[in-house]
Amino acid sequence: MHPSTVRREAERVKVSVRVRPLNDRENNTAEGAKVTVAAKQAAAVVTVKFMGGTSNSCPAESGAARRVTQDFQFDHVFWSLETPDACGATPATQADVFRTIGYPLVQHAFDGFNSCLFAYGQTGSGKTYTMMGADVSALSGEGSGVTPRICLEIFARKASVEAQGHSRWIVEPGYVEVYNERVSDLLGKRKKGAKGGIEEVYVDVREHPSRGVFLEGQRLVEVGSLDDVVRLIEAGNSVRHTASTKMNDRSSRSHAIIMLLLREERTMTTKGGETIRTAGKSSRMNLVDLAGSERVAQSQVEGQQFKEATHINLSLTTLGRVIDVLADMATKGAKTQYSVPPFRDSKLTFILKDSLGGNSKTFMVATVSPSALNYEETLSTLRYASRARDIVNVAQVNEDPRARRIRELEEQMEDMRQAMAGGDPAYVSELKKKLALLESEAQKCAADLQALEREREHNQVQERLLRATEAEKSELESRAAALQEEMTATRQQADKMQALNLRLKEEQARKERELLKEMAKKDAALSKVRRRKDAEIASEREKLESTVAQLEREQREREVALDALQTHQRKLQEALESSERTAAERDQLLQQLTELQSERAQLSQVVSDRERLTRDLQRIQSEYGETELARDAALCAAQEMEARYHAAVFHLQTLLELATEWEDALRERALAERDEAAAAELDAAASTSENARESTSKLLTSVEQQLRDSETRAAELKAELEATAAAKTSVEQEREKTRTALEGRAAELARKLEATASAKNLVEQDRERTRATLEERLRIAEVRAAELAGVLEATAAAKTAVEQERERTRAALEQQLRESEARAAELAAQLEAAAAAKTSVEQERENTRATLEERLRLAEVRAAELAARLKSTAAVKSAMEQDRENTRAT
């Protein structure tokens, strides 16, 4: 029996180049429409032509770099422009690319080899199109990329292999991205962040001596069809970082890696009919869509996109350095100056460590733009791709030695079964014995392998439990630390609340002092304003009283002057009437003068008549004097009644002023003390004032009645005077009739006429002077009355203004008092709220302290339990490792 050896294959990295068509931006410019790349797909040669005078022409170089054209040899070239290539070959399609590089990857995966395919090139050169397809959201159809076609071929091959019944294959895809030098699991279960966003699920890159580089914590999902894979890829694409730049509408801002893990599970049936399941081959396929290198000056990114471009360029630079070192190590061997490639300088190169110079069959697709605008980037990409061709990987089949031994035994048994058909009986008998031995050995190996698989599964379960325990321990430790921090924060918060409580108390005391000071100031100001207003009111009252007294005096003087004026007017009227009568008599006497001259002879007879007339005249004069005395008495009575009327009015005004003073005093007293008794007293005073007004009204009514009686009496006296005057007139008429008989009166009457004329002139002059004087005095009295009326109106307006000002002041003081009371109530409420808040904070602090102490105690108990479990797990693990070592040695 020959010992089983691991199958190893040394192989270069297979490099392909794909030249994309010109895009609209390049076709719209004269320089961009120039094609600088030519290809020969059959010979796998790419030629770059130097277009002189372009803005992106390469800088001055030495040696061969100055050549007008440069040729690069690759494994495959895909010409995707619409025109044929230099040899006339048709443009390559997505299916052509898959048949060339995708199909071999599937074959290697089922052979047990790790494999890798990554797309390299500048941004916008067609990497994502090659890997995923035209529409990232639709991964099926004619334009689908290499990745969905590989998945479809894997499931077709899986169905074909499983149809034979000897084994089954398990497919587990994963999807990660390298964004800003952090690896994020795109299939991980995400939670909503604190600010409403989606939290990233980061994983760590680890390296195991036998497993190689792996991602700790990565989520792998077992799938059964292409639709499941497409659904997972679409879910990952929905959270992948992409953005629009000037170079590309959908520029990848991260390196995306789709990982496909394939595991074979073989079955064997023993003679007893028992089915033994053993592990077979396994492989891992990495499909890498690198973010494109970009010049910031061309893409014109800024802010977060500038940071992303910086990380992308740094990781691609590290990838270029790794390629250079590996190429030198493959071509120069020990002569190279490098010893260790810088895989750990970037997360991307660390993940691709096995794919570059390690245990993997690697394919590289370099995508370039044919436009002269991208001459430098295209040349740089081709150089790196050409260097990558020199890297040599040593791939080995990933298969357990026992499983490999079982597979080799099965192959030998199959060969023996074929050899037994139609062979020599002795030889067939010997082959049957060997076949039985091989079957028993294979079954024993299968049983041992199954036991080892179970043990390995158990160990894996234990390891997972251990990792879970360690994770739980770390989580508990972090929670304990968080609880400790929370307790510290709670203590700090309690201290802050205590300090805040002290500040609140101090603030409360300060506000109380300020409120008391403010209330004292307001009380002092209120008292001061009240005293000032009382003084002003008293002063105004005194002024009003003096003004009213002066007005009353002037009113009395005016009434006296008016009475005198009326008396004088009556006298003037009487004098005028007498003058008119005298003038009439003079006219008659002048007319009768001639008659009297003819009657001189009758004087003797007239003498007796004169004596009789003299007696009658004396009698009439005596009666006239009595009438004058009666009239004077009536006038005196009327003046007395008028004086009593003015006295009553003055008494009424005095009562009204006293009532007003009582009412103001009681109202101020009710306002200051808010005493209901004062309000009742004010009502009583108001009723008393109303009664005084009613009595005064009655008194005025009686006085007016007396005045009306006096006026009636004066009218009667006037009628009597008029009757007396009529009697006098009749007597004078009678005298005029009898005077014709008096001859002796002629001379005397002539003298009387002359005296009467002179007296009339004097009376008229006196009347004119008196009239002018009276008119002047009347005008002065009217002016004075108008002035007094204006003063009265101004005084009334001033009194009204003073009362309004007093009302406003009282309202303002009441408002200030209400505001002070409200402020005091508010401060009291604040004090109560602060006290309640302090109480609640203290209660909450006590509750929090008790809760934290309980949680800390539980955490300590849990930590002790975990420590015990860790010790027991470590002991179990040590025992398992010893058993495994013993088993391996066996």
Q: Tens digits of per-residue pLDDT, 280-330?
A: 788 999 999 888 776 655 555 555 667 777 788 888 888 888 888 888 887
In sequence order, the β-bridge partners of residue 116 are 286, 362
pLDDT over 70 percentage in the chain = 58
Q: What is the CATH number of the domain that holds 373?
A: 3.40.850.10
Residues sharing a CB contact under 8 Å with residue 101, sequence separation 6 or more, in sequence order: 14, 16, 76, 117, 146, 363, 365
Distance CA 148, CA 135 (A): 12
Distance CA 685, CA 689 (A): 6
Strongest mean pLDDT among 146-160, 210-224, 261-275, 587-601:
146-160
- Residue carrying the six token digits 């080892």: 452
Torsion sign over Cα 473, 478, 482, 484: positive
Residues sharing a CB contact under 8 Å with residue 208, sequence separation 6 or more, in sequence order: 214
Q: Is residue 695 part of a domain?
A: yes
Distance CA 781, CA 566 (A): 13
Q: Is residue 510 part of a domain?
A: no
CA angle 776, 780, 786 (to 5 degrees): 145
Q: Which of 697, 725, 742 is the last residue of a domain?
A: 742
Given a cut of 60, is residue 11 above it in pLDDT?
yes
* Distinct helix (H) and strand (E) counts, the chain: 15, 18
Torsion-angle region of residue 475: left (phi > 0), alpha (psi -120 to 50) or beta? alpha
Count of domains observed in the chain: 2
Distance CA 332, CA 346 (A): 25
Given a cut of 60, is residue 62 above it in pLDDT?
no
Q: What is the pLDDT of residues 522-567, one digit of tens each?
A: 778 878 887 887 888 888 778 878 887 887 887 788 788 778 877 8
Q: What is the pLDDT of residue 471?
A: 60
Residues sharing a CB contact under 8 Å with residue 623, sequence separation 6 or more, in sequence order: 724, 727
- 217 annotated binding-site participant: no
Q: What is the pLDDT of residue 674?
A: 47
Q: What is the pLDDT of residue 17?
A: 94
pLDDT band at 503 (very low <50, low <70, confident <90, very high): confident
Nearest alpha-carbon partner for 633 in 720, 702, 560, 738: 720
Q: What is the pLDDT of residue 566?
A: 78
CB 362 within 8 A of CB 12: no
Given a cut of 60, is residue 243 above it in pLDDT?
no
Q: Given strand 37-40, what is the order of strands in its sheet?
A: 37-40, 45-49, 69-73
Q: Is residue 224 part of a domain?
A: yes
Per-residue buried b or exposed e for 324-342, using 16+ beta carbons within 10 Å of the residue's own CB: bbbbbbbeeeeeeeeeebe
Q: How many residues does the chain have?
A: 890
Distance CA 349, CA 13 (A): 16
Q: Is residue 524 part of a domain?
A: no
Given a cut of 80, is residue 204 above it in pLDDT?
yes
Tell me which of 671 and 782 has the higher pLDDT: 782
Torsion sign over Cα 700, 702, 703, 704: positive
Given a cut of 80, is residue 569 above it in pLDDT?
no
Q: What is the pLDDT of residue 260?
A: 94
Q: What is the mean pLDDT of residues 370-377?
A: 88
Given a cut of 50, is residue 59 above it in pLDDT?
no
Nearest alpha-carbon partner for 115 in 344, 320, 398: 398
Distance CA 114, CA 358 (A): 10
Mean model confidence pLDDT for the chain: 74
Torsion-angle region of residue 67: left (phi > 0), alpha (psi -120 to 50) or beta? beta
- 123 annotated binding-site participant: yes
Q: What is the mean pLDDT of residues 369-375?
A: 88
Tell me which of 156 and 527 has the higher pLDDT: 156
Given a cut of 80, is residue 225 above it in pLDDT?
yes
Q: Is residue 376 part of a domain?
A: yes
- 32 annotated binding-site participant: no
Distance CA 298, CA 295 (A): 5
Strongest mean pLDDT among 25-29, 174-178, 627-631, 774-778:
174-178
Strongest mean pLDDT among 191-200, 368-377, 401-410:
368-377
Q: What is the pLDDT of residues 725-781, one digit of tens each?
A: 676 677 677 667 766 655 566 566 567 667 766 766 776 787 788 778 777 877 886
Single-letter residue type at 873: T
Distance CA 537, CA 664 (A): 10
Q: Which of 344, 365, 399 is the last residue of a domain?
A: 399
pLDDT band at 622 (very low <50, low <70, confident <90, very high): low
CA angle 501, 507, 510 (to 5 degrees): 145
Q: What is the pLDDT of residue 194?
A: 40
Q: What is the mean pLDDT of residues 132-140?
A: 68
Distance CA 693, CA 108 (A): 128
Q: What is the pLDDT of residue 853?
A: 73
Single-letter residue type at 216: E
Q: What is the pLDDT of residue 172?
A: 93
Q: What is the pLDDT of residue 60?
A: 40
Residue 639 domain boundaries:
600-742
pLDDT band at 55 (very low <50, low <70, confident <90, very high): very low
Given a cut of 60, is residue 272 above it in pLDDT?
no
Q: Is residue 334 part of a domain?
A: yes
Given a cut of 50, is residue 578 above it in pLDDT?
yes
Q: Is residue 561 part of a domain?
A: no
Single-letter residue type at 885: E
Return the C-alpha torsion angle 518, 524, 528, 531, nearest 10: 130
- Please state the pTM of the whole predicted model: 0.49
pLDDT band at 452 (very low <50, low <70, confident <90, very high): low
Single-letter residue type at 462: Q
Given a cut of 70, is residue 425 above it in pLDDT?
no
* Structure-token pair, residue 656: 């009204």
* Structure-token pair, residue 871: 């010790």
Q: What is the pLDDT of residue 56?
A: 46
Given a cut of 70, is residue 684 above it in pLDDT?
no
Tell me which of 674 and 656 has the higher pLDDT: 656
Say whether 257 sits in a helix, a strand or coil. strand
Q: What is the pLDDT of residue 672?
A: 54
- What 8-state DSSP symbol labels residue 229? H
pLDDT over 90 percentage in the chain = 10
pLDDT band at 495 (very low <50, low <70, confident <90, very high): confident
In sequence order, the β-bridge partners of residue 268 are 276
Q: Is residue 720 part of a domain?
A: yes
Q: What is the CATH number of the domain that holds 652?
A: 1.10.287
Q: Which of 726, 742, 758 is the last residue of a domain?
A: 742
Q: What is the mean pLDDT of residues 612-628?
A: 63
Q: What is the mean pLDDT of residues 219-243?
A: 85
Nearest alpha-carbon partner for 168 in 248, 124, 222: 222
Given a cut of 70, is residue 404 above it in pLDDT?
no
Per-residue buried b or exposed e for 6-32, using 16+ beta carbons within 10 Å of the residue's own CB: eeeeeeebbbbbbbbbbbeebeeeeeb
Given a cut of 70, is residue 98 above it in pLDDT?
yes
Q: What is the pLDDT of residue 309?
A: 74
Given a cut of 60, is residue 678 above it in pLDDT?
no
Q: What is the mean pLDDT of residues 375-395?
A: 89
- 125 annotated binding-site participant: yes
Single-letter residue type at 650: F
Element (H, E) at 131: helix 127-131
In sequence order, the β-bridge partners of residue 362 are 116
Single-letter residue type at 714: A
